[in-house]
Chain A
Amino acid sequence: MDIEALREEFLNKNFDEQDFDVDPDDIVNFAVACGEVAPRYTDPSHPDFQAPPTFASSFHAGRRMPEGFPKIPGLGMDGGKATSLKHPIRPGVRLTGRTHLHDIYTKTGRSGPMTFLVMRMEIYDPDGVQVATADTSVVIRERPGK
């Protein structure tokens, strides 16, 4: 697999756009699931009620990969998530997530060669202000014995 060619063809090109309506119950449910106890995350009547910082990781793109992206042989696994919050996410706002392939790289670990695909969703408010980024990594491990 020519990683450089894939990077050249697919990186940094938006391949998905989704709208998300942020509901107070979604925020509370997410906060409770994360073990949050601060009222600003769990009590919709709190004057500073907002989503926990990692809430953006719960947004999902409509497409998993760009159209035409080749199947990389191996065992695919969740490679983790990372979020970066620029402004508080509050309920009652329609957010828009635009997703692109942010990085493709290879490495070798105890389990052998692996390819990492990092999808980045940039999340904007109705004024076009970016409020967060959410990265989702997929790791594809070469099949044992190869």
Chain B
Amino acid sequence: MILDLHTHSIKSDDGRAKVQNYCQWIRAKEIPIDGFVLTEHRQFDDSSDYSGLAREFDLCILKGSEVETEYGHVLVFGVTDALRSAFDFTDIRLPLQRVIEACAAHDAIAVPCHPGRKRVGMQAHVGEFGVPEGVRIVEIYNGGSREREDEIAQTMANDLGYLGIGGSDAHIVSHIGRCATRFPATISNMAGLVEALRAEDFEALTFRT
């Protein structure tokens, strides 16, 4: 099963894509993914129900978040009410350690994204703050990466022994599925995704040309 683990809809301040249009695009253009995770910026969207779209388009549509820390942006999978009360998702200076520990305590998982990007990527801050504890997975393919950003991410992952995922970081419809992650088993809900990530059996993919 292939999931795009990093997407944004109009629920994000800079997102320009409706979820329905993502679904239509994936099917119309035969994008080779089976679903996607909406990781809205600095929030968890608990008001939207995409189960109807998921059924209509036979896609797995899950919801996570993208929060901001001193090490840059971090995807969070497995958001619950308890996790949301553990830290302020709107805070743009969250301590990464706090996010990682809260995720560990609430059956969630934190994944630094676009780590090769300046200012908002982890690699840019390792020199100042050191290698953070508790990171196991980073995003090594990001659909919004500019020249060399993914290369920096992959080098960092290799050097520090991290596993890699892929996500498009789509903010507009035509960018969905540019990068994704392949899992050996079918995933139908967020608990299943968290379990699959913890099983450490997945492969980052890029479809960028």
Contact = CB atoms under 8 A, between A and B. Distances in A.
Contacts of A109: 119-120
Contact of B13 (A108, A110, A113, A116): A116
Q: For the side of the interface on A, what is the size category?
A: 10 to 19
Given A107-B13, A107-B41, A113 B92 contact: yes
Contacts of B90: 105
Contacts of A110: 117-120
Nearest to B73: A108
B68 interface: yes
A70 B117 CA distance: 32
A106 B89 CA distance: 12
Contact of A107 (B68, B72, B117, B118): B68
Q: For the side of the interface on B, what is the size category?
A: 10 to 19
A73 interface: no
A111 B119 CA distance: 7
Interface in A92-130: 105-113, 116
B42 interface: yes
A108 B13 CA distance: 12
B158 to A, nearest CB: 24
Contacts of B42: 105, 107
A4 B61 CA distance: 32
Interface in B25-72: 41-42, 68, 72
A107 B73 CA distance: 10
A112 B120 CA distance: 8
Nearest to A107: B92
B92 A106 contact: yes
B118 A108 contact: no
Contacts of B73: 108
Nearest to B118: A110
A18 B23 CA distance: 42
Among A106, A110, A113, residue most surrounded by chain B Cβ atoms (within 10 Å): A110
Nearest to A116: B13
A109 B13 CA distance: 13
A107 B69 CA distance: 11
A144 B104 CA distance: 35
A145 to B, nearest CB: 12
A79 to B, nearest CB: 10
A107 B41 CA distance: 9
A112 B119 contact: yes
A105 B119 CA distance: 18
A29 to B, nearest CB: 27
Contacts of A107: 13, 41-42, 68, 92
B171 to A, nearest CB: 12
B42 to A, nearest CB: 7
Contacts of B41: 107
A116 to B, nearest CB: 7
Contacts of B13: 105, 107, 116
Given A108-B73, A109-B119, A111-B119, 17 more contacts: A105-B13, A105-B42, A105-B90, A107-B13, A107-B42, A107-B68, A107-B92, A108-B68, A108-B72, A108-B92, A108-B119, A110-B117, A110-B118, A110-B119, A112-B119, A113-B92, A116-B13
